[in-house]
């Protein structure tokens, strides 16, 4: 069953589905990350394999193998969006504890006493289908996924302010917003925990009556 399903155009039947990346969906993620662009290159995820915060800093093939190992171990590193069975988008969402570099960070590290907190650390949408609400659907699915997996809260790390070049170019803004947009988080009830240099640490608490500490 999909984590999330929604229309991609007004009045159309449901066409977009979002699924957890399990071993049987690994090849779909590879297809998305390694899909060649018009000039023959692969997108950024095909080089980083979303391993920055998981502390794997080796070459692309080693990062790819590390992410595959995470999937094979059933640790659910994120979700993939599909349109008509074609993978078109990705969101990295998993327990903060799975992101060792994030946990060690002075700027973005956990609050004292945190437990069962998840984090959204990356978005990627195929350039051919941008502007169709896929990132928004992925964020909604990430929220649902974290809640259903027992998270007390979900953390996010959008840019505090976009650089001038990103404000002037849609493509640059999209590239600069790979950890999500602050306005998107605010619209879903995320609150600011602190400004941490280039980024803002935000949190959505699922059960306000349950203490995180």
Q: Is the pLDDT of residue 188 over 90?
A: yes
Q: What is the pLDDT of residue 151?
A: 96
Cβ neighbourhood burial of 102 (10 Å; 0-12, 13-18, 19+): buried
Instruction: Give the phi and the psi of residue 113 in degrees, each rounded to 5.
Output: 90, 0
DSSP codes of every residue in 106-121: TTTPPPTT--SEEEEE
User: Strand order of the sheet with strand 117-125?
Assistant: 4-6, 16-20, 78-83, 86-95, 117-125, 153-156, 199-205, 191-196
Left if phi > 0, otherwise alpha if psi is -120 to 50, otherwise beta: which for 13? Answer: beta
User: What's the start-to-end Cα distance of the chain, in Å?
Assistant: 34
Residue 142 contacts residue 156 (beta carbons within 8 Å): no
pLDDT at 166 > cutoff 50: no
Mean predicted lDDT score pLDDT of the chain: 86
Choose the weakest-confidence range: 2-16, 127-141, 146-160, 169-183. Answer: 2-16
Q: Hey, what CATH topology would domain 4-205 get?
A: Aminopeptidase (3.40.630)
Contacting residues for 136 by C-beta, under 8 A, at least 6 apart? 184
pLDDT tens digits, one per residue of 48-78: 999 999 987 789 999 999 999 999 999 999 9
**pLDDT digit string (tens) for 138-163?**
999 999 999 999 999 999 999 887 55
Whole-number pLDDT of residue 165: 47
For the entire predicted model, the pTM comes to 0.86
Q: Residues of the chain with pLDDT > 70: what percent?
A: 83
Residues 6+ apart with CB under 8 A from 88: 32, 81, 82, 125, 126, 128, 129, 134
- Sorted by sequence, the CB contacts under 8 Å of residue 131 that are 6+ apart come out as none
Instruction: Return the pLDDT at 103.
Output: 92
For 29-49, how does the pLDDT look when each residue is reduced to its tens digit (9 = 90+)?
999 999 988 777 888 899 999
| Whole-angstrom distance, CA of residue 184 vs CA of residue 170 | 16
Dump the DSSP string for 23-39: GGGHHHHHHHHH---TT
């Amino acid at each position: 069953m999909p984590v999330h399903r929604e229309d991609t155009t007004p009045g159309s039947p449901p066409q977009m589905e979002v699924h957890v990346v399990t071993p049987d969906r690994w090849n779909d993620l590879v297809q998305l990350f390694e899909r060649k662009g018009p000039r023959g290159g692969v997108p950024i995820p095909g080089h980083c394999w979303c391993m920055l915060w998981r502390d794997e800093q080796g070459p692309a093939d080693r990062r790819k193998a590390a992410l595959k190992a995470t999937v094979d171990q059933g640790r659910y590193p994120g979700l993939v969006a599909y349109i008509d069975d074609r993978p078109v988008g990705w969101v990295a969402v998993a327990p903060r504890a799975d992101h060792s570099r994030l946990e060690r960070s002075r700027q973005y590290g956990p609050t004292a006493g945190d437990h069962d907190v998840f984090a959204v650390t990356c978005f990627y949408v195929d350039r051919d289908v941008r502007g169709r609400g896929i990132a928004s659907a992925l964020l909604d699915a990430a929220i649902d996924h974290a809640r259903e997996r027992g998270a007390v809260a979900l953390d996010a790390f959008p840019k505090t302010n976009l650089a001038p070049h990103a404000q002037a170019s849609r493509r640059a803004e999209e590239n600069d917003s790979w950890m999500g947009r602050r306005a998107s988080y605010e619209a879903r009830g995320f609150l600011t925990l602190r400004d941490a240099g280039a980024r803002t640490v935000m949190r959505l608490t699922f059960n306000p009556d349950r203490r995180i500490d």
